[in-house]
Structure 1
Amino acid sequence: MTVAEPYEDVGSAEEIGVRLHAADNVVVAYRDLDEGTAAAGLTLRQAVPRGHKVATAAIPVGEPVRKYNQIIGFATVAIEPGDHVHTHNVEFKAFERDYAVGADVTPTELVPDEERATFQGIVRADGRVATRNYLGILTSVNCSATTAKLIADQFRRPGLLDDFPNVDGVVALTHGTGCGMAADGEGLAVLQRTLTGYAEHPNFAGFLMLGLGCEVNQISAVADEWTIHPATPVRTMTIQEQGGTAATVRAGTKALLEMLPAANEVSRTTVPASELVLGLNCGGSDAYSGITANPALGAAVDLLVRHGGTAVLGETPEIYGAEHLLTRRAVSPEVADRLVERIRWWERYTAANNGSMDNNPSPGNKAGGLTTILEKSLGAVAKGGTTNLTAVYGYAEKVTDRGFTFMDTPGYDPVSVTGIVAGGATVMCFTTGRGSVLGCKPTPSLKLATNTEMYERMAEDMDLNCGVIVDGSASVQEVGRELFQLILDTASGRRTRSEELGFGQEEFVPWQLGAVM
């Protein structure tokens, strides 16, 4: 999908919006438009907020509304040219899509090794490449969460880390589960896979695994699955064995203090961009997401893949209705089948909980102009660029394939990002139109604003303004190249806005599946 020229007839007095494909029957308003505005051969029959849609042709009842040359919904009443097109006159309905497996697969033209982009990474003893250097406290159960935070708080005392400038900090990753669950169910398996992904993450130089002692999620059961180099210091303990909270805080603090000298003995060195694993997520989306930030991120992904790197797209509910654009790029029927199987699972999952896939657009999404999940997904999938889909992973599975990949995660941002980081993402890119402020330690998260107004209002939270695309001062490809360089700079140690503000500890939220007992 490419951004087309602004919609205007020859001789029109002013532009009213952007048409994304010649076959579309709506355009997206550039600005708040008053009822009676006459432009581009249309007279607006109602006021239309910025980012919302205007009909450019008559759409009979039951006929599809088209944007991106794709169906985003169906008219519930007769829509006339100049009408405001939104939830009041458009509905979501399921319809058949042509998956055309592999139809758009093309050879990937890799940049020669000697010409590939590089960044300043931290190479671990086992060859893994980190972008940050943290010590972590992982918790087996919610019952150890407060104690873990008390230990992490000890390292926020002024001066304590001054002698260890190469250590980015000590982070406690706590969660709301770990007990009251089946000892052999899907919920426990997902939690343990998530914790394993963080334990093995290259951005941790060492960590403490902390439990209560009597929980279902026993530390020994998790630790037995870890593949961790002997040079990485690891300690495990439980509050019950240590003799209570205060004793555990003392013991945990001592254990981490002993790890600091070794953790500090690192330096950054030049490594190729092929060592990067880039996570892709969006949150607080608006109608500009699919026009500016998401396509720009997709352009950066295409560059990263050409340089041999890896990108991971998530949020399965937010590709629903656009999955056929990914199956067309699947390198094998097996990859396409796994993606479609996850779509079918979500249909069953939402139905079993008396929901609908169209429940996904939030009130903020709708206020920003997104009408249905179909419209949201068609914009969201643009984050994945245009290259081949090489693999599909389950939640928090370790990502081992190169190129553009997909991970099955919920649309809820903290849960999605947690799974992608557990899979190995060493940099996250997060697009937002309404203004999201999420971080995800130990991985840096770049915030990409979809529109200039929000960027200027929340400049202290945003890392890049992609609104310049719709403003007309830069193209998707130009912003994509700028973003690619920003990703490399971030991987080299440049701090993101969310890092400066201290985000990333509370946003660790593993996907909780199964019965709570």
Structure 2
Amino acid sequence: MTHSTSAPRVIRIHPRDNVAVVVGQGGLAAGERLDDGIELKAKVPQGHKVALVALAEGDEVIRYGEVIGTAATAIPQGGHVNETNLHMPTPPALEDLPLATRSAPEVAPLEGYTFEGFRNADGSVGTKNVLGITTSVQCVAGTIDHVVQRIKRELLPRFPNVDDVVGLNHSYGCGVAINAPAAVIPIRTLKHLAQNPNFGDEVMVIGLGCEKLQPSTLVEDRPVKVYENTESADPEANVLSLQDESFQGFEEMIDGIMAMAERHLERLDRRRRETCPVSELRVGMQCGGSDAFSGLTANPAVGFATDLIVRAGGSVMFSEVTEVRDAIHLLTPRAVDRSVGQALVDQMAWYDDYLSQGQADRSANTSPGNKKGGLSNIVEKALGSVIKSGDSPIVDVIGPGERLRKRGLTFAATPASDFICGTLQAAAGMNLQVFTTGRGTPYNLPMTPVIKVSSNSTLARRWHDLIDLDAGRIATGEASIEELGWELFHLILEVASGRRQVAADRLGLYNDLVLFNPAPVT
């Protein structure tokens, strides 16, 4: 990355680039000159691209050293390059990609770093201590919202070592093709959400009774113990159905859920934080509300932190298939072996087919906010998005709803939707998430701390009480990618240890969980 030496400033990432990104708040006006004497032919907003050379119609437009499109019309030197004067290039052909051709970089192990976490019987470690109430069908969502509020008021104060109680509501469970092949995705997502490390292995499922997705399905990997509305109810009960004939009226249903929750809270309250190595971290990396600075500042800093966690033996996952597809040629060489490289290709091909069935294409990804922030198309967005993965080898690929299997860097195949991606990363077992944004979002998850990193200082100043780390300092020259990467790494350890609360948790802001359901709805 090179900077001009005086204002007005632009950033050119790669020597091959024939465009540069405008840094200063408010952008640059027509007639202003860059350090090399180039005169702007039009106003170029902050984050948008200025042509460094004259481009004829059909010429390649290059950023990150990669082709992000061709000029749809002649663009003069100093002209504003944006989505209106670019054509997208064709995506990389999946059958021709190099697989596992890059040797893993030689790096020294990172030792001596720890955090304070909650150890679970299955060997995982939580960064929070939360009671999660899983639901098998949307019909019970209102009841769960009601009972969660009562638990918080009446029970939670008695259990000071429990951080919160969370209802895992969703819109699945009935009126769906439960046996369709693709139904495996939402079903395993719900099963694995209940097993997130921050829930302390206390699985509690509430159902209606007549739904297609029976509550017992979500705990089939452990003994199913149904709550009975009697004085001798099993203290280990993990399933309750509202249609159980032993309940007489709504209040008895609520009493049953409260009694069941109390037993789980008693066990969770016995948990204590203890010192754990960074190898027990499972961190999800995600971006949303991205802008042109995301790939210059926040995502490179996240990528540096990713490599630090991997060097320390921890687990990191990156996701968002449509924000990987146009940069897949940069990732398959990094696969640890050919089978992992082929798994990357297979996930891209599956999603290509999924979009085709829905009569959509990859261009549907880029939002109006992305474009206003300077991202002209999905190709440019993808090239900036994959930088979150750092430089480590990719050791595994998991499908949507699957759990992490290996330490190191994993690609978790998910849609790019913030809410679906977050839900699937939580199901994969992450115990903390880092979320980068350039346009801003109050996004947060109820069971997992979410550290929000702004890509530009303008947003960090405006959203001073919502952003946890300002990576815009990289663009202004106040900090390097390495310095911000280390700062983020230490912040991750502080948040994972409970010593620092993320902004959205302080404000009590939480998004709903959203399942990915590519199967038919009946």
Correspondence for 1:172: 167
- CA distance in 2 between counterparts of 1:291 and 1:421 reads 27
Aligned pairs for 1:375-394 within 5 A: 375-394=380-399
From 503, 508, 512, the equivalent of 2:513 is 508
Any idea what SS the aligned residue of 2:487 has? helix
Correspondence for 2:116: 120
- CA distance in 1 between counterparts of 2:52 and 2:263 reads 67
Equivalent AA in structure 2 for residue 238 of structure 1: S
> Does 2:9 correspond to 1:16?
yes
Equivalent AA in structure 1 for residue 459 of structure 2: M
Q: Deviations over 1:61-100 (max 9, x none)?
A: 2222110001111111011110100011002131446632
- CA distance in 2 between counterparts of 1:235 and 1:245 reads 20
From 263, 272, 281, the equivalent of 1:267 is 272
- CA distance in 2 between counterparts of 1:253 and 1:414 reads 29
Equivalent AA in structure 1 for residue 464 of structure 2: A
- CA distance in 1 between counterparts of 2:141 and 2:182 reads 19
Aligned pairs for 1:408-419 within 5 A: 408-419=413-424
Residue 449 of structure 1 and its aligned partner are, at CA, apart by 0.7
TM-score, structure 2 normalization: 0.93
Aligned pairs for 1:466-481 within 5 A: 466-481=471-486
Residue 247 of structure 1 and its aligned partner are, at CA, apart by 2.7
Q: Deviations over 1:231-271 (max 9, x none)?
A: x9552111111455433222111211232222111111111
Closer, same or farther: CA 236–79 of 1 in aligned 2, 3 Å: same
Correspondence for 2:296: 291
- CA distance in 1 between counterparts of 2:190 and 2:42 reads 52
- CA distance in 1 between counterparts of 2:60 and 2:512 reads 39
Residue 165 of structure 1 and its aligned partner are, at CA, apart by 1.6
Correspondence for 1:280: 285
Aligned pairs for 1:336-485 within 5 A: 336-485=341-490
> Does 2:512 correspond to 1:496?
no
Equivalent AA in structure 2 for residue 37 of structure 1: E
Equivalent AA in structure 2 for residue 76 of structure 1: A
Any idea what SS the aligned residue of 1:404 has? strand
Closer, same or farther: CA 233–385 of 1 in aligned 2, 3 Å: farther
Equivalent AA in structure 2 for residue 367 of structure 1: K
Correspondence for 2:229: none
From 33, 42, 49, the equivalent of 1:46 is 42
> Does 2:7 correspond to 1:6?
no
Q: Is the 8 A contact 1:42 1:81 kept in 2?
A: yes
Any idea what SS the aligned residue of 2:506 has? helix
Residue 417 of structure 1 and its aligned partner are, at CA, apart by 0.8
Correspondence for 2:239: 236
Residue identity over aligned pairs, in percent, reads 38
Aligned pairs for 1:211-226 within 5 A: 211-226=207-222
Closer, same or farther: CA 225–261 of 1 in aligned 2, 3 Å: closer
Equivalent AA in structure 2 for residue 457 of structure 1: R
TM-score, structure 1 normalization: 0.94
Residue 272 of structure 1 and its aligned partner are, at CA, apart by 0.5
Closer, same or farther: CA 317–226 of 1 in aligned 2, 3 Å: farther
Closer, same or farther: CA 233–110 of 1 in aligned 2, 3 Å: farther
Closer, same or farther: CA 428–512 of 1 in aligned 2, 3 Å: same
Any idea what SS the aligned residue of 1:203 has? helix
Equivalent AA in structure 2 for residue 216 of structure 1: K
Correspondence for 2:107: 109
- CA distance in 2 between counterparts of 1:243 and 1:35 reads 74
Q: Is the 8 A contact 1:208 1:235 kept in 2?
A: yes
Any idea what SS the aligned residue of 1:382 has? helix
Q: Is the 8 A contact 1:439 1:507 kept in 2?
A: no
Equivalent AA in structure 2 for residue 185 of structure 1: A
Correspondence for 1:89: 85
Q: Return 5+ residue gaps in structure 1 as ranges.
A: none
Q: Is the 8 A contact 1:190 1:395 kept in 2?
A: yes
Aligned residues: 505
Say which is worse superposed, 408-417 or 97-106, in terms of deviation.
97-106
> Does 2:13 correspond to 1:25?
no
Equivalent AA in structure 1 for residue 220 of structure 2: D
Q: Is the 8 A contact 1:35 1:46 kept in 2?
A: yes
Closer, same or farther: CA 107–18 of 1 in aligned 2, 3 Å: closer
Residue 7 of structure 1 and its aligned partner are, at CA, apart by 3.9
Equivalent AA in structure 1 for residue 190 of structure 2: L
From 128, 132, 135, the equivalent of 2:128 is 132
Closer, same or farther: CA 445–402 of 1 in aligned 2, 3 Å: same
- CA distance in 1 between counterparts of 2:151 and 2:216 reads 27
Say which is worse superposed, 198-207 or 360-369, in terms of deviation.
198-207
Closer, same or farther: CA 74–435 of 1 in aligned 2, 3 Å: same
Equivalent AA in structure 1 for residue 312 of structure 2: H
Correspondence for 2:59: 63
- CA distance in 1 between counterparts of 2:240 and 2:223 reads 19
Q: Is the 8 A contact 1:438 1:507 kept in 2?
A: no
Any idea what SS the aligned residue of 1:321 has? helix
Closer, same or farther: CA 222–474 of 1 in aligned 2, 3 Å: same
Equivalent AA in structure 2 for residue 275 of structure 1: E
Equivalent AA in structure 2 for residue 122 of structure 1: F
Q: Is the 8 A contact 1:200 1:226 kept in 2?
A: no
Correspondence for 2:334: 329
- CA distance in 1 between counterparts of 2:55 and 2:399 reads 40
- CA distance in 1 between counterparts of 2:402 and 2:17 reads 38
- CA distance in 1 between counterparts of 2:250 and 2:327 reads 49
Q: Deviations over 1:304-352 (max 9, x none)?
A: 0000011000111111211111111011111111111211222222122
Correspondence for 1:316: 321
Any idea what SS the aligned residue of 2:55 has? coil
Any idea what SS the aligned residue of 1:38 has? coil
- CA distance in 2 between counterparts of 1:335 and 1:257 reads 44
- CA distance in 1 between counterparts of 2:203 and 2:220 reads 15
- CA distance in 1 between counterparts of 2:13 and 2:248 reads 64
Q: Deviations over 1:184-219 (max 9, x none)?
A: 124431122111112222211324211111111111
Any idea what SS the aligned residue of 1:88 has? helix
Residue 14 of structure 1 and its aligned partner are, at CA, apart by 3.7
Q: Is the 8 A contact 2:301 2:484 kept in 1?
A: yes
- CA distance in 1 between counterparts of 2:248 and 2:427 reads 31
Say which is worse superposed, 26-35 or 348-357, in terms of deviation.
348-357
Q: Return 5+ residue gaps in structure 2 as ranges.
A: 225-234
Closer, same or farther: CA 7–226 of 1 in aligned 2, 3 Å: farther
Q: Is the 8 A contact 1:207 1:234 kept in 2?
A: no
